[in-house]
Amino acid sequence: DLTKRIHCILPAVFKKLLLISFDGFRWDYDRDIETPNLDKMARDGVKALYVTPPFLTITSPAHFSLLTGNYVENHGVIHNIWFNTTTQEKKQYHAAQFVDSYWDNGSLPIWITAQRQGLKTGSLHFPGTAATYKGETVNVRQVEPAIYNHGNETEWRLNIDKVIGEWFHQQDLDFVSLYFGEPDLVGHKFGPDSLELREMVQQVDRTVGYIRDKIHDHALTDRLNIIITADHGMAKILPDKQIQRIILSKIPGFSFKDIQFQLLDYGPGGMLLPKKGKLESVYQALKGGHPHLHVYKKEDVPARLHYSSHPRLLPIILMADPGYVISGFFPLQFNKGDHGFDNEAMDMKAFFRAVGPDFQKNLMVDPFDLVNVYPLMCHLLGIKPERNDGHLDKTKHMLVHNGNVLIGLATVIGLLALVFIVMVSYNKCKRSKA
């Protein structure tokens, strides 16, 4: 509540923050493609070699880790698909966005925390935007339509105009999360090495230039920090002629008769709920069933993946090696690229860039986990974070004032003085705003 008071009186102490995600932008996509705007942003700010997304490396789980600082087993959005093992019902990515109880499972996204501490927030198309958390939604929002052309650059610019021109400039919001559905879709359809992918990376690059120009046009350059990152990377799927596909129904000793509920045919991950008494036999049948299939009992999933302890996770968890996807009865997946693999695989790593008044210039930093972006964002906004799995220590060296002792001391003294002023003048300020 002290932060609320400080924000009320001195809105200029903390800068505004724009968090942008380009879905599936792999860490090395800028390597042999001309990206003048991303290069300029790196010179003007901070670039990480890469960031490690949480497992499962797919869209809704990873974005919710970005918004909460929690690993997937600690926030509960375990998959893009919402499901009920009793009724067999499944809701796909878009429909699942509207299931409040799915998202509101104990972790608050940063918008709600910021709003409770007196800030104004917005979100455009970002996963999690449609849901209500403990009765609250993000202040200003635009939820993505069910059918949407994710690659339309004109549409991207209209959305950027809205966020910068209306939300930050006119409505004076403090924090906005902004989502773009590419280059993920092109990476799936044509593969990470395709010409189409290269063109989409250049579209992203033009867009980054457009965003920074807009910010400049609205005189926000010195008052707004920008973080640009992604939820996961993209790996090439090996063509049929090179490999033996992973099709569970073809594995000797395994039968779907023993399965009560399955989540399969969604890329390289899978989950099974065996019928009563069948757990051990299903596990034994699948284990060793394919040289590129990893089979775990839920509690034996490696601890580093943080994908083991949530009640929504089913008793058997399947993981394919990079290049492979898992199918149930027949091959149903024909993507040239996919994600959802072990987050140790280099192709799953995402990019990270930041620029703004609080970031150092021309600084390249070592890789870190995506969950550490959350405490960084809370620090930048001057809000108290919720319990989370991130550590500010992993990211704060990117900042201009990163804990220098003298600055720290001066800040403490300044803050004590500020606390006094805040106590005295908060009521006056509150009255005048009311």
Per CB under 6 A, residues contacting ligand NAG are 76, 84, 86-87, 105-106, 149, 152, 154-155, 311-312
Binds 59: which of Zn ion, ligand NAG, none (CB < 5-8 Å by kind): Zn ion
Q: Which is nearer to Zn ion, 27 or 167 (CB)?
A: 27
Q: Which two tokens stand for residue 193?
A: 């090495």
Q: Which stretch binds Zn ion (CB under 5 A): 44-52, 184-192, 250-258, 361-369?
A: 184-192
Interaction between residue 182 and Zn ion (CB under 5 A)? no
Beta bridge partners of 93: none
For residue 283, the tally of other CB atoms under 10 A from its CB is: 17
Residues in region 97-126 near Zn ion by CB under 5 A: none
- Select from 24-32, 70-78, 202-210, 326-334 the region that touches Zn ion (CB under 5 A): 24-32
Least Å distance, CB 153 to ligand NAG, is 8
Q: Is residue 231 part of the contact set for Zn ion (CB under 5 A)?
A: yes
Nearer to Zn ion, 90 or 150 (CB): 150
Cβ-based nearer residue to ligand NAG, 14 or 82: 82
Report the residue closest to ligand NAG, judged by CB.
Answer: 106
- Closest separation between CB of residue 82 and ligand NAG, Å? 8
- Please tell me the count of residues contacting Zn ion according to CB under 5 A: 5
Q: Which CB atom, from 104 or from 231, has the smaller least distance to ligand NAG?
A: 104
Selected binder of Zn ion within 3, 37, 59, 177 (CB under 5 A): 59
Q: In Å, how far are 149, 272, 273 from 81, measured between CA atoms?
A: 21, 14, 15
For the chain, first and last CA: distance in Å? 17
| Torsional class of 245: left (φ above 0), alpha (ψ -120 to 50), beta (otherwise) | beta
Distance CA 241, CA 395 (A): 44
**Which residues have CB under 8 Å from 106's CB, separation 6+?**
75, 76
Residue 22: CB minimum distance to Zn ion, A: 9
8 Å CB contact between 184 and 196: no
**Cα separation of 307 and 300, whole Å?**
10
Name the DSSP letter for residue 179.
E
Q: How far is the CB of 348 from Zn ion (least distance, A)?
A: 11
Helices and strands in the chain: count of H runs, count of E runs: 13, 20
Q: Residue 59 or residue 65: which is nearer to Zn ion going by CB?
A: 59
Q: Minimum distance from CB of 103 to ligand NAG (Å)? A: 10
DSSP state of 339: -
Between residues 155 and 172, which has the closer beta carbon with respect to ligand NAG?
155
| Active-site residue, 59 included | yes
Backbone angles phi, psi at 102, to 5 degrees: -70, -45
Binding part of the chain for Zn ion, among 154-162, 231-239, 362-370, 405-413 by CB under 5 A, reads: 231-239
- Among residues 8, 409, 30, the alpha carbon closest in space to that of 183 is found at 30
Question: Which of 14, 16, 18, 23 forms a contact with Zn ion (CB under 5 A)?
Answer: 23
Q: Which 294-313 residues touch Zn ion, going by CB under 5 A?
A: none
Cα–Cα distance, 50 to 350 (Å, whole number): 6
C-alpha 106/C-alpha 44 separation (Å) is 38
Maximum distance among all Cα pairs of the chain, rounded to whole angstroms = 75
Instruction: Say if residues 378 and 385 touch (Cβ distance below 8 Å).
Output: yes
Residue of 35, 52, 57, 59 with catalytic role: 59
- Closest separation in Å from C-beta 231 to Zn ion: 4
Interface residues with Zn ion (CB under 5 A) are 23-24, 59, 184, 231
Active-site residue numbers?
Answer: 59
